[in-house]
């Protein structure tokens, strides 16, 4: 599956570099709403799969009825709210944001933690988020669940994390009064609370100090590569990180795969792990050489072949994980995927002419496993805690090494 637009990768192909806030008139907002109403049902593969035409048009009419009270940010949020009711994980509202707050969050089972921040505030790294501008995190989560699909917790957490440093989005939700700055209330490991005020910058010039775990832990060691592998001779385990479903022209995947299995024949490892936890998709066909090779490998046995899945495993990466589950002896380890096994996809897009918001929509239905509903679940569920992350421990890898 080739995805045309994706939030997680940040690839907003149809978007110009104009500022998000353009002081548009109510007439211009209404024009965009009507174009959205008239265009999406025509272009989408099956818009009325989970919502009726009457319900869809009624929700559009409700937004139109209060157009005089909306600005660009609140109009955008209304589109997000409407999009949730459509129930298609690949059909998305993609505004052209230019501003970002210099902070990065990562969700763990014990809360949302700072894993990147403005260098001048680096002492706040690995603190727990408890409030933004005085709004408690529980209230923030409730607001986000109105505008992000929340029937899949993995999907919700991944997309919430994408917007927690977005001042325009937070303003549209009523969490911020201005898109210029935000006050974050953070709690340290010893329970001390502090307020950190951060000022919005152009997202293209964002400069963050990341938590040191990103340099120390195995999955993050080759951040510039789409795929790479490492061998631990003491554990006799090959670790293969497949980060993007993209064929690197400088190192074609077919060549990479030949090199990998040549090394496997030389090392003769006891286990192989493929990590799909941070792969949000691309072209599912890229991984086919590996899939063919592993099917015929001596490693294709229970307790010798492991597939790591998680919250970011989506779209084409999810399709690859499903193939491993169905046609190999792999054990899936991790957390439920953010994408559903059977889903609409093959995304295309159109742009609203005034707000410049891109509407990504599905053009194809993918039945990857007939009769299955919901997300792909791991054979062995893993709980990730901030404390283990701080101690450079990867719970999924630790589990596999012990088997």
Section 183-208 average pLDDT:
97
Model pLDDT, residue 23: 87
Q: Would you say the pTM of this structure is higher than 0.85?
A: yes
3-class DSSP state of 211: coil
DSSP 8-state code for residue 334: E
Domains of the chain from N-terminus onward = 21-94+344-366 (3.30.750.44), 99-210 (2.30.42.10), 213-339+375-402 (3.90.226.10)
Please provide the DSSP assignment of 17-77 as one string. Answer: SS-S-----HHHHHHHHHHHHHHHHHHSS-GGGSS-HHHHHHHHHHHHHTGGG--HHHHHH
For 390, the token pair is 């701080």
Phi, psi of 105 (to 5 degrees): -115, 150
pLDDT band, residue 2 (cuts 50/70/90): very low
Section 56-64 average pLDDT:
99
What kind and span of H or E run contains 115?
A: strand 111-117
Section 189-199 average pLDDT:
97
Section 103-130 average pLDDT:
98
Model pLDDT, residue 95: 96
Model pLDDT, residue 17: 39
- Please list the residues that pair with 216 across neighbouring strands: none
Instruction: Quote the crossing angle between the two packed helices 53-65 and 72-86, to the nearest 10°.
Output: 170
- Which range among 13-27, 80-94, 272-286 shows the weakest confidence by mean pLDDT? 13-27
pLDDT band, residue 22 (cuts 50/70/90): low
Over residues 118-140, the pLDDT tens digits come to: 999 999 999 999 999 999 999 99
Report the mean per-residue pLDDT for the chain: 94
pLDDT band, residue 8 (cuts 50/70/90): very low
Please provide the DSSP assignment of 168-208 as one string. Answer: HHHHHTTS-S-SSEEEEEEE-TTS-EEEEEEE-EEGGG---
For 366, the token pair is 């993918």
Which residues, 6 or more positions from 320, have their beta carbon under 8 angstroms from its beta carbon? 242, 245, 276, 284, 287, 291
Question: Is the confidence at residue 19, as pLDDT, over 70?
Answer: no
More confident residue, 327 or 4: 327
Question: Is the confidence at residue 6, as pLDDT, over 90?
Answer: no
3-class DSSP state of 286: helix
Question: Is the confidence at residue 9, as pLDDT, over 70?
Answer: no
Model pLDDT, residue 271: 99
Question: Is the confidence at residue 209, as pLDDT, over 80?
Answer: yes
Question: Is the confidence at residue 104, as pLDDT, over 50?
Answer: yes
> For a pLDDT cut of 70, what percent of the chain falls above it?
95
pLDDT band, residue 233 (cuts 50/70/90): very high
Over residues 336-384, the pLDDT tens digits come to: 999 999 999 999 999 999 999 999 999 999 999 999 999 999 999 999 9
């Amino acid at each position: 599956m080739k995805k045309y637009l994706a939030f997680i990768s940040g690839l907003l192909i149809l978007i110009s570099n104009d500022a998000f806030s353009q002081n548009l008139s109510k007439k211009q907002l209404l024009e965009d709403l009507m174009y959205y109403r008239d265009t999406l049902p025509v272009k989408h593969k099956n818009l009325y799969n989970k919502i009726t035409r009457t319900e869809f048009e009624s929700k559009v009419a409700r937004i139109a009825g209060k157009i005089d009270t909306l600005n660009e940010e609140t109009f955008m949020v209304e589109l997000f709210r409407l999009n949730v009711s459509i129930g298609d994980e690949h059909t998305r509202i993609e505004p052209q944001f230019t501003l970002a707050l210099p902070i990065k969050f990562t969700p763990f089972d014990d809360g949302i933690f700072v894993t990147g921040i403005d260098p001048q505030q680096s002492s706040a790294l690995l603190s727990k988020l408890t409030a933004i501008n005085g709004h408690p995190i529980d209230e923030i989560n409730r607001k986000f669940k109105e505008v992000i699909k929340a029937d899949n917790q993995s999907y919700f957490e991944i997309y919430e994390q994408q917007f927690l440093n977005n001042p325009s989005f937070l303003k549209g939700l009523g969490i911020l009064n201005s898109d210029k700055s935000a006050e974050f209330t953070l709690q340290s490991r010893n329970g001390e609370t502090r307020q950190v005020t951060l000022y919005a910058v152009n997202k293209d010039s964002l400069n963050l100090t990341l938590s040191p775990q990103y340099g120390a832990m195995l999955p993050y060691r080759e951040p510039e590569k789409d795929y790479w592998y490492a061998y631990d001779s003491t554990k006799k385990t090959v670790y293969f990180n497949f980060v993007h479903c993209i064929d690197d022209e400088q190192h074609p995947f077919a060549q990479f795969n030949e090199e990998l299995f040549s090394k496997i024949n030389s090392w003769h490892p006891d286990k192989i792990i493929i990590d799909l936890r941070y792969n949000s998709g691309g072209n599912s066909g890229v991984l086919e050489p590996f899939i063919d090779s592993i099917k015929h490998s001596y490693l294709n046995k229970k307790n010798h072949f492991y597939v790591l899945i998680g919250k970011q495993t989506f779209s084409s990466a999810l399709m690859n994980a499903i193939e491993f589950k169905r046609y190999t002896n792999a054990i899936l380890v991790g957390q439920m995927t953010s994408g559903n096994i059977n889903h609409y996809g093959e995304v295309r897009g159109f742009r609203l002419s005034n707000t410049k918001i891109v509407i990504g929509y599905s053009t194809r239905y993918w039945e990857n496993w007939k009769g299955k509903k919901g997300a792909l679940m791991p054979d062995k569920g893993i709980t990730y805690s901030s404390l283990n992350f701080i101690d450079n421990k990867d719970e999924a890898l630790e589990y596999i090494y012990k088997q």
